[in-house]
Amino acid sequence: MMPRPMVTAALALVAWLPLASAHAADAVVNLYSSRHYDTDDAIYEAFTAASGIKVNVIEGDADELIERIKAEGRNSPADLFITVDAGRLYRAVEADILQPATSPVLAERIPAGFRDPDNRWFGLSKRVRVIVTAKDRVQPNEIGRYEDLADPKWQGRLCIRTSTNVYNQSLVASMIAADGEAATEAWASGLVENFARPPQGADTDQILAVAAGECDAALANHYYLVRLLSSDDAEQKAAGEAVNVVFPNQADRGAHANISGIGLTRHAPNRDNAVKLMEFLTGDEAQANYAKGNSEYPIVESVKLPPILEALGKFKAAGIDAKVYGGNNAAAVKLMDRVGWQ
């Protein structure tokens, strides 16, 4: 399922009046979301059918929504904030717009490594930053760690997105925590030396470039590859089939995983309804839909994967520490700038 075009905060203001009019109603929950997927709409419709609680959604850029909730203060109609990337959840915590949500269901369903220790946010789905390699030019065991990408043997063979991309920023932030800032800067410098072309495009473009022979390896979130493999377009499907997927660092910390996550806002006017929606999103039906509709890994490990995700194989994922992703973000961005990662 391809994401819908993002609705900016300015456009989202158009929806302010119907949202505000529903504010006083009992059977509503108001969700500020930086996710833009049809799959999510179907999940919210299923929640309404099961509970009778209407879900009002305001979409926008994550940082803009955080600032909006902060500016609205006690008068905010927002009950929940949902976003992608744990670093953004960290920003929401730092902005003091979230409150703890106490729920035995959430505590039982969501592994400790994928929720805030103080219950201010909870992971809903996992996104793994994998390495994709050309089947015809790279041996299956030729690369095993993110750190390997800086080896001179990959000179002129790597494709990657720009340093402004939050997925890359969070990866570098996690590497600072794992390897230290000096070692990570040396790694990033080696990575830049190995670029086959200037950083450009989205994750799908990196995979297509590997398939087309422009480079031999690239970084991408796993679901972009799954979308190619499940595409009805013969050329895109062939591109997906031309690459192998590598889950890095299986012998040590595990593959870098990020999340989509949700938090209860500090002044939620419909708190009980909001907690009910949070619990529903961790249920088997919603979790299966995240996997089937958007090819994300369920946060609840017992949920059965669709065959196309199952085919990628089993792997170990590193736990999520939002303080690492968010707290190290500024250092990561400066580091990437110093080494010339555009």
Same domain, 65 and 211: no
Q: Is 89 exposed, middle or buried (0-12, 13-18, 19+ CB in 10 A)?
A: buried
Q: Is the dihedral of CA 250, 254, 255, 260 positive or negative?
A: positive
Does the pLDDT of residue 1 top 60, yes or no?
Answer: no
Q: Which residues contact 134 (CB under 8 A, 6 or more apart)?
A: 210, 211, 213, 216, 217, 242, 243, 244
Same domain, 133 and 249: yes
Cβ neighbours of 75 (radius 10 Å): 10
**Gap between the Cα atoms of 203 and 221, Å rounded:** 7
Q: Is the dihedral of CA 38, 296, 280, 302 positive or negative?
A: positive
27: domain CATH number is 3.40.190.10
Same domain, 45 and 137: no
pLDDT score at 21: 37
Residues 87-111, mean pLDDT to the nearest whole number: 95
pLDDT score at 162: 97
**Gap between the Cα atoms of 50 and 44, Å rounded:** 10
Question: How many structural domains does the chain have?
Answer: 2
Same domain, 149 and 103: no
What is the residue range of 64's domain? Answer: 9-126+257-305
227 found inside a domain: yes
Using a pLDDT cut of 90, give the percent of the chain over it. 85
SS3 230: coil
Same domain, 300 and 325: no
Residues 178-186, mean pLDDT to the nearest whole number: 97
> pLDDT-based confidence at 140, cuts 50/70/90?
confident
Same domain, 294 and 227: no
CB 229 within 8 A of CB 241: yes
> pLDDT-based confidence at 4, cuts 50/70/90?
low
Of 243, 218, 219, give the one whose Cα is nearest residue 229. 243
Does the pLDDT of residue 160 top 70, yes or no?
Answer: yes
Q: Is the dihedral of CA 49, 50, 52, 57 positive or negative?
A: negative
Same domain, 249 and 265: no
pLDDT in tens, 279-301: 999 999 999 999 999 999 999 98
> pLDDT-based confidence at 75, cuts 50/70/90?
very high
**Gap between the Cα atoms of 178 and 189, Å rounded:** 17
Q: Which residue has the higher pLDDT, 320 or 182?
A: 182
The long-range contacts involving 251-254, CB below 8 angstroms and separated by at least 24 positions, are 251/144, 252/145, 253/178, 253/318, 254/315, 254/316, 254/317, 254/318, 254/319
pLDDT score at 18: 41
Q: Which residue has the higher pLDDT, 14 or 171?
A: 171
